[in-house]
Structure 1
């Protein structure tokens, strides 16, 4: 297990080395108080003129040119190879919430590893900012101020049972599991409340609801 590296009272932005949408890092930083890079995410940060307060990972992805620009006391090397840089960073952060950018797009195996880590509750609650939606691991209950007609997708990575208020196709009575029943492309009738009986269910809602989702998860 990693040692604690970041200990913040407010939400933290974590930038990775995957695809980074235009303006995504600046938007995340407008909603959080602290920037951490997971290994090669430091390249994204410096390219946009942001110096991370900490860089966490095994440093196999960060470029030598960027590595040389990071003050040594901000470089936090974690050499074990049994976890991804995303997991290493989450384990090393204590904060109310992590907003992760630069972890979607690009290699599918990397994205699958990130989603797998999300449902394992490694570290603080975490939101992934994507090109069209935000992805999060559902807590026991969450209420979101959605608008009628907006897409709500739910994808299980473990067997779960859920209940819903405000969805066009309610979840009551469904057992969702990988390789079985899923819940993608549902639609909101208005504000939505979701409840689950245990961990393992990913939620996806339109990305403009990011500020509301941050408040709901905190």
Structure 2
């Protein structure tokens, strides 16, 4: 591990990062690790990241010059994204990622894949409108009635729910089959799933609830 912490970590990527989203992540995860060009975002916010991890094809020369060598961890591997490199080399109870969703759909889809590949990490990706995370084996969220809940399978997975307007028990989810977008909570939500393949997408305003729920989940998937 390049960074190992007992408190939550904010991962900042090179995509668009609204300052409000960055501040929301920092309030809950004060240690910062940058994925490649995310170092520029961190420095612009007056923060020196604990580490910069990536293939270094997007960090600016100015940002690289401002950072000490001990912070820089270039990796030439082109088979994984910078986000995956961070997930593979950072350990913390919870990760909150900003700058990994937004305008570049290919980057966003790659981030979804990374969450599944590194299922042992408890990681929330925060955007301006929504957040998403990989559902742990069981999850309890005190959602308000009417809260939008989308469930997107990244592979074959089944589950059960209590607190959804359209329950999911008996559904065989698959990315090329049945998906679960735009469901709604009718009150506190309890989910259980059979495999680390189901992404949960909620409004960004639920960040505190999700962070607490993931840290409180009785079990998580196997080590990353």
TM-score (norm 1): 0.96
More deviation in 82-91 or 25-34?
A: 25-34
Which 5+ residue runs of structure 1 have no aligned equivalent?
A: none
Instruction: Verify the 8 A CA contact 1:156 1:202 in the aligned structure 2.
Output: yes
More deviation in 59-68 or 208-217?
A: 208-217
For residue 160 of structure 1, the aligned residue among 157, 160, 176 is 157
Matched, 1:192 2:195: no
SS of the residue 1:205 aligns to = strand
For residue 121 of structure 1, the aligned residue among 109, 113, 118 is 118
User: 1:217 maps to what in 2?
Assistant: 214
Q: Where in structure 2 are the equivalents of 1:147-186 lying within 5 Å? A: 147-186=144-183
Aligned length: 215
TM-score (norm 2): 0.93
Instruction: Verify the 8 A CA contact 2:88 2:118 in the aligned structure 1.
Output: no
Which 5+ residue runs of structure 2 have no aligned equivalent?
A: 216-224
User: 1:58 maps to what in 2?
Assistant: 55
Matched, 1:132 2:129: yes
User: 1:79 maps to what in 2?
Assistant: 76
- In the TM superposition, residue 122 of structure 1 has moved relative to its aligned partner by 5.3
Q: Please give the alpha-carbon distance, in whole angstroms, between the structure 2 residues aligned to 1:180 and 1:57.
A: 34
For residue 27 of structure 2, the aligned residue among 26, 30, 43 is 30
- In the TM superposition, residue 160 of structure 1 has moved relative to its aligned partner by 0.5
User: 2:201 maps to what in 1?
Assistant: 204
Q: Please give the alpha-carbon distance, in whole angstroms, between the structure 1 residues aligned to 2:119 and 2:76.
A: 18
User: 2:17 maps to what in 1?
Assistant: 20
For residue 138 of structure 2, the aligned residue among 141, 146, 154 is 141
Structure 1 runs (4+) deviating above 3 angstroms are none
SS of the residue 2:167 aligns to = coil
Q: Please give the alpha-carbon distance, in whole angstroms, between the structure 2 residues aligned to 1:44 and 1:147.
A: 34
